[in-house]
Amino acid sequence: MLIRNFSLKATIECGQFFNYKPFEKGYIVINGQDVFYVEQRDNELIYEGTTKEKIEDFFQLNVKVSQPVRVIKQDPWQCIVSYICSSASNVKKIQKNIFLLSEFFGKKVKFKGKTFYTFPKISKINNLEKITQAKTGYRAKYILAANKIVNNAFLKSLKQSTYQEAKNQLIQIPGIADKVSDCICLFSLEHHQAFPLDVWIKRHTEEMGWQGNYKQLSQKAIEHYGPFAGWTQQEIYHKIRL
DNA sequence: CTCCAGGTGCTTG
DNA sequence: CAAGCACATGGA
């Protein structure tokens, strides 16, 4: 598949998505129940174990934004759990949480001669002791609560909601507030304007001379960067972290 | 040993 | 509202 102005490495590793493992010259990606392999060769994207349609969906190739770091569209439930884990943590530790949760509650699959685990389906992450064993710390009780609240009806409603409505539903889940709900909106619900404000991005808004609380800063960003503010946020975040 | 990490919840003023 | 702190865990 041909793809220009794109960096698979930057897109996978920039901290928006956690459930991957470097493999051969590319990555094994685990998105919900899907396990597949991707690799970039110049302007070409090679994949195995999945379909063209799923690759296009995952990297949102229908979105005509041309930049090295693309916003990934991940499985919403996996995204919810991942970002509950993200508070006061770091990428490496979040990955550890996700890998362990998958091992304890997910399904074992063989792919390219190795063993992997799919992300647990909704309602499967139902044991507080095991969730704690996944090194999730004080977030364990939030994950358990999320597992109770999130069901098919919740997800269906979430997918049909506007950005604001989705945020309102997400913050009903303990462990999810302004920042995490924005991450879920941007990284799994196609709300491209969502502009997650973490410690790094807040520094950027200060440099822009913007002031106010989370909601006010978020609105400023959307006014300034437009309907794809979230994609700009990823670029800014990537540049700051380099 | 202390500090802090892609925050959030709870308690106070 | 906004400020201050606790919260598990692991790396610097």
A47-93, pLDDT tens digit by residue? 999 999 999 999 999 999 989 999 999 999 999 999 999 999 999 99
Protein-to-nucleotide distance from the CA of A90 to the C1' of B5, whole angstroms: 6
For residue A233, pLDDT over 90 is answered with: yes
Strand C nucleotides, any atom under 7 Å from protein beta carbons: they are 1-2, 7-11
User: What is the average per-residue pLDDT within A122-128?
Assistant: 97
Token output for A23: 């493999």
Token output for A238: 């990537």
User: What is the average per-residue pLDDT within A209-233?
Assistant: 96
pLDDT tier at A214 (50, 70, 90 boundaries)?
A: very high
pLDDT tier at A103 (50, 70, 90 boundaries)?
A: very high
CB A196 within 8 A of CB A237: no
Cβ-7 Å neighbors of strand C = A 88-89, 92-93, 96, 132, 135-138, 213
Instruction: Check residue A114 and give its pLDDT.
Output: 97
Protein-to-nucleotide distance from the CA of A92 to the C1' of C12, whole angstroms: 14
Mean pLDDT score across all residues of chain A: 96
Instruction: Check residue A241 and give its pLDDT.
Output: 79
Per the document, the length of chain A is: 242
Instruction: Check residue A200 and give its pLDDT.
Output: 87
Q: Nearest residue to nucleotide B6 when comparing alpha carbons to its C1'?
A: A198
| Backbone phi, psi, residue A204, to 5° | -65, -45
> pTM above the 0.95 mark?
yes
CB A28 within 8 A of CB A116: yes
Token output for A44: 């070409």
Longest dimension (CA), chain A: 53
What is the share, in percent, of chain A residues with pLDDT greater than 70?
100
* Beta-ladder partners of A23: A26
Token output for A91: 């990428």
Protein-to-nucleotide distance from the CA of A88 to the C1' of C7, whole angstroms: 10
String of DSSP letters for A141-181? HHHHHHHHH--HHHHHHHHHS-HHHHHHHHTTSTT--HHHH
